[in-house]
């Protein structure tokens, strides 16, 4: 019996040791209290960690401080909200724009030269750095408005010839300078009355000639305006606009546009005749069909040529 007990003791002891090992193994598999595992040639590990819960840094970091990605909190290579400049700016600079409201200077040396059937205009353009062009308008009014201004030239030249005019009509030519912003100068004007010219040789021939109506009435001499009988003496018998024997009386027989003996009736066939040394030189008339003739509207323009 004693011998049998000795045989079973090692078996019981082995079974007990095996049971202890089995319990220990089961406790480890069920996630019991942490236990340091054995190490090997591989990296040291602990429960739930890959490098101690970190990836190359402090908790929750990726190569920097908490919540950072290569810089200060919320920054990406610069100050908060900036992109290469001040807050709200894109490349900096001043966005203010300037409007040009300054009118250019007027043209200078503006003159007119009336001729037969045209008026030649010339001027100097202003020296403003932003000068662009000039505009020239024609009118028959000395107090013009937009409705009676006719644009006849627009450009940067310094002269223009207006051929769309009628002889013995007085015109006014307004000129304005414009800059590249569209501002206009205050403007200025010159007048001009196109007319049929009288040659210097004809002026010489007319000096001292006498005028007679076709009814035989003496109507004065073509002499200087201070001579008593001169048709240019505005106070004399033959030069006054009130005298019945004056060709300048628009209501008289010799100055009316309807008088049959009038120098200003463009349809009459019996206008006054110019004589010199008892020889007829031609007619004094506005009727262009009566030739040779001198237009009285031209003659008055040359009154200073006579003595």
| Beta-carbon count within 10 A of 278 CB | 6
Greater pLDDT, 188 or 43: 188
User: How far is residue 44's CA from residue 290's CA, in Å, rounded to a whole number?
Assistant: 135
**Residue 40 pLDDT exceeds 90:** no
Among 64-68, 156-160, 281-285, the least confident range: 64-68
Choose the weakest-confidence range: 21-30, 107-116, 193-202.
21-30
Q: What is the pLDDT of residues 83-132, one digit of tens each?
A: 444 444 444 555 567 888 899 999 999 999 999 999 999 999 999 999 99
The whole-number average pLDDT for the span 145-159 is: 92
pLDDT at 182 over 60: yes
What percent of the chain is modeled with pLDDT above 70? 69
Give pLDDT, residue 59.
41
Residue written as token pair 């490098």: 51
Cβ proximity of 160 and 170 under 8 Å: no
Closest CA relative to residue 263, chosen from 168, 173, 193 = 168
Is the bond into 69 cis (omega within 30 degrees of 0)? no
- Work out the average pLDDT over 225-242: 97
Residue 39 has pLDDT above 50, yes or no: no
174 pLDDT tier (thresholds 50, 70, 90): very high
Q: How far is CA 294 from CA 8, 224, 243, 268, 288, in A?
A: 172, 18, 22, 14, 9
pLDDT at 9 over 80: no
Which DSSP helix (H) or strand (E) runs through 12?
helix 2-29
Longest CA–CA separation in the chain, Å: 200
Q: What is the pLDDT of residues 255-295, one digit of tens each?
A: 999 999 999 999 999 999 999 999 999 999 999 999 999 99
Q: How far separated are the first and last CA of the chain, in Å rounded?
A: 187
Q: How many CB atoms lie within 10 A of CB 96?
A: 5
pLDDT of residue 154: 98
The dihedrals phi and psi of 157, each to the nearest 5 degrees, come to -70, 175
Q: What is the pLDDT of residue 128?
A: 94
Binned at pLDDT 50, 70 and 90, residue 11 comes out as low
Query: What is the average pLDDT score of the chain?
Result: 80
The whole-angstrom separation of Cα 208 and Cα 210 is 7
DSSP 230: B
Greater confidence (29 vs 121) lies with: 121
CA 144 to chain centre: 23
pLDDT at 12: 58
Q: For residue 5, how far is the Cα from the chain centroid? A: 129
Give the residues across from 139 on adjacent strands: 172
pLDDT at 188 over 90: yes
Cα distances from 285 to residues 77, 83, 220, 256, 264, in angstroms, run 97, 88, 15, 12, 6
Position 34 confidence tier, pLDDT thresholds 50, 70, 90: very low
The pLDDT value given to residue 143: 82
pLDDT of 28 strictly over 70: no
């Amino acid at each position: 019996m004693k011998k049998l007990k000795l045989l079973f003791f090692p078996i019981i002891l082995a079974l007990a040791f095996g049971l202890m090992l089995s319990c220990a193994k089961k406790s480890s598999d069920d996630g019991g209290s942490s236990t340091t595992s054995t190490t090997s040639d591989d990296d040291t590990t602990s429960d739930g960690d890959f490098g101690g819960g970190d990836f190359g840094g402090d908790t929750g970091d990726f190569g920097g401080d908490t919540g950072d990605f290569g810089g200060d909190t919320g920054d990406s290579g610069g100050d908060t909200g900036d992109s290469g400049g001040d807050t709200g700016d894109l490349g900096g600079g001043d966005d203010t724009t300037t409007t040009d409201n300054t009118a250019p200077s007027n043209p200078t040396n503006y003159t007119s030269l009336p001729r037969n059937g045209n008026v030649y205009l010339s001027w100097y353009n202003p020296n403003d750095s932003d000068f662009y062009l000039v505009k020239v308008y024609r009118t028959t009014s000395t107090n013009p408005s937009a409705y009676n201004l006719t644009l006849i030239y627009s450009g940067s030249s310094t002269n223009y010839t207006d051929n769309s005019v009628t002889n013995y009509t007085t015109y006014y030519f307004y000129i304005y300078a414009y800059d590249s912003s569209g501002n206009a100068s205050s403007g200025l004007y010159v007048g001009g009355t196109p007319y049929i010219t009288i040659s210097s040789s004809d002026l010489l021939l007319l000096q001292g000639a006498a005028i007679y109506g076709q009814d035989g009435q003496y109507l004065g001499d073509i002499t200087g305006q201070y001579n008593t009988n001169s048709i240019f003496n505005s106070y004399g018998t033959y030069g006054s606009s009130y005298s019945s024997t004056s060709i300048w009386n628009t209501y008289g027989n010799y100055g009316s546009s309807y008088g049959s003996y009038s120098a200003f009736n463009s349809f009459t066939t019996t206008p006054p005749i110019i004589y010199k040394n008892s020889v007829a030189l031609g007619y004094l008339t506005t009727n262009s069909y009566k030739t040779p003739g001198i237009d009285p509207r031209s003659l008055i323009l040359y009154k200073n040529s006579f003595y």
